[in-house]
Amino acid sequence: MAGFHKETSATADSLSALGKAGSINNGKLDQGQGSTGTSPPCPECGSAKTWKDGIRETAFGPVQRYLCRSCGYRFSDPNSKQAQTLFNGSGMSEHVETIHTKKLKSETAILTYCRVSDELYERASTGQLRLVKSLAEVEARQENAQREGTTQTAEIKGKIVEFLWYLTKQGKSKYTIDNRKCMLETLVKFGANLLDPEDIKDKIAKYPGWRSPNSKMQAVRCYKSFASFIGVKWESPKYHQPESLPFIPLEKELDTLINASGKILGAFLQGLKDTGADPGELAAIEWIDINPQTKTLTLNHPVKGHNPRILKVSDEFLARINRLPKRNDGRVFANVRCVIANFTFQRKRIAHMHGNPRLLKITFRTFRHWKGTMEYHKTHDVYHVKKILGHKRLQSTEIYINLEQAVFTEQNDEFHVKAVKTIDEACKLLEVGFEYVTDMDDYKLFRKRK
């Protein structure tokens, strides 16, 4: 029967010399040259799972044979000159055959067909057929596991979408929803199974991007909310943020970052410095929130329970804003996460350029801490600072009392001193940060730390 004869000595020699995959090497199936991109696809079903199946000796020379593991189609190498000559002749039907319609006469040919029948398995005199059947079973298990994994992934994605929609219906802010979405997707990408609470504990503890206790606390809070939504009981791990005062840089260090950044990032950082706003609040502003006449900015999208507020901004901020391109959605800035990614890169570059590692400690929230500290230092009015920062509770603002004492105790005691007589002059000094000290010889004395 054409194409399924027993291998001749010449064929065996060709196989030995070429070391082709699909043959038996010391009782083991050589898979080293299986479907690796060098074998042609099956002309019947187009599958890439084609395996080399010995050499066919023809009048035109040896021709490489292939077997499709998907549909059982056996064919010759269409790229060889011998095969092209055969395909153009009358013998083409003898060289392209299907295993299901012809009997296999050699054990070697049988071995390349992984779907071994029970009858052939019982008739096997060696362990070769058992090996091939085992490989077929392993492949089937892998395909089932992959199919189950795909189904589970689709289920988890569906649960995330339902959870985000639930948060939307509960009136959660867009900032909160985006943050929960980002954390859940990060866990999934890290290989976590959101339906397995114990696996979540392990991934939160090991994820390299959440090194600080604060980051892990946010991740725990996020999954706790998700677990409650899907009805999974979870004993959440306990992470505690150590008590420490925020880093307060020098004003010239903030200005260094602002001036060395691009126009979009520079405008964003200048806005943080002028207003002390939360990064999410500033990222959400629209052009209609800016009033150039009164030099004010309205924060209509507060986050974390802050109060909406109207704040003064500098001419520098307005000038930087006016140089930005207008977005179609009416917003001034893109999503805060895009700005953060740019800031992380620019901060590292600027710190290296100026040789100042302190710049690496500055984050978006550092600008807010700096603003609260400076405002309290100027006024010593904690209620004024509470209004500027949008806090609902005075307890949240009291930290800036300690910050002001810690920062300005370490500085030298050099001051700019001014003496004025009129109320207008005194008001102008107060507006630029001078503080009243005492009266002397009909003069009012003011000072401002250098």
Alpha-carbon gap, residue 152 to 158, rounded angstroms: 10
- Which pLDDT belongs to residue 84? 59
> What are 20-52's pLDDT values in tens digits?
334 334 333 333 334 444 788 888 888 888 888
> What are 329-387's pLDDT values in tens digits?
889 997 777 788 889 899 999 999 999 999 999 999 999 999 999 999 888 888 999 99
Element (H, E) at 44: none
- Which pLDDT belongs to residue 292? 93
| pLDDT-wise least confident of 5-9, 254-258, 380-384, 416-420 | 5-9
- Which pLDDT belongs to residue 110? 45
Q: Can you tell me the mean pLDDT for 405-416? A: 69
- Which pLDDT belongs to residue 412? 52
Sheet holding 415-420, edge to edge: 415-420, 443-449, 435-440
The answer, yes or no, to whether residue 317 has pLDDT greater than 90, is: yes
- Which pLDDT belongs to residue 305? 83
What percentage of residues in the chain have a pLDDT greater than 90? 25
Element (H, E) at 2: none
The answer, yes or no, to whether residue 295 has pLDDT greater than 50, is: yes
The answer, yes or no, to whether residue 418 has pLDDT greater than 50, is: yes
Alpha carbon separation from 73 to 11, 100, 101, 134, 153 (Å, rounded): 21, 8, 10, 21, 34
> What are 192-208's pLDDT values in tens digits?
888 888 888 888 888 88
- Which pLDDT belongs to residue 276? 95
Alpha carbon separation from 168 to 101, 164, 181, 392 (Å, rounded): 60, 6, 12, 23
* pLDDT confidence bin for 151, thresholds 50/70/90: low
Element (H, E) at 113: none
CA 332 to chain centre: 24
How many other CB atoms are found less than 10 A from the CB of residue 437? 14
* pLDDT confidence bin for 410, thresholds 50/70/90: low
- Which pLDDT belongs to residue 130? 55
> What are 220-231's pLDDT values in tens digits?
889 999 988 988
Q: Can you tell me the mean pLDDT for 140-154? A: 62
Beta bridge partners of 419: 445
How many other CB atoms are found less than 10 A from the CB of residue 433? 14
Beta bridge partners of 73: 98
> What are 429-438's pLDDT values in tens digits?
888 878 888 8
- Which pLDDT belongs to residue 132? 54
Alpha-carbon gap, residue 447 to 434, rounded angstroms: 5
Alpha-carbon gap, residue 212 to 252, rounded angstroms: 28
Answer whether 448's CB lies under 8 Å from 435's CB: yes
Q: Which domains does the chain have, with CATH numbers?
A: 9-113 (no CATH), 151-230 (1.10.150), 251-405 (1.10.443.10), 415-449 (no CATH)
| pLDDT-wise least confident of 202-206, 207-211, 323-327 | 207-211
- Which pLDDT belongs to residue 83? 55
Residue 377 has what DSSP assignment? H
The answer, yes or no, to whether residue 296 has pLDDT greater than 90, is: yes
Helices and strands, counts by H and E, the chain: 19, 12
The answer, yes or no, to whether residue 141 has pLDDT greater than 70, is: no
Alpha carbon separation from 84 to 56, 426, 448 (Å, rounded): 14, 100, 93
> What are 60-102's pLDDT values in tens digits?
778 888 888 887 788 887 776 655 555 554 444 444 444 444 4
Mean residue pLDDT across the chain: 77
- Which pLDDT belongs to residue 16? 42
Judged on CB neighbours under 10 Å (0-12, 13-18, 19+), 318 is middle
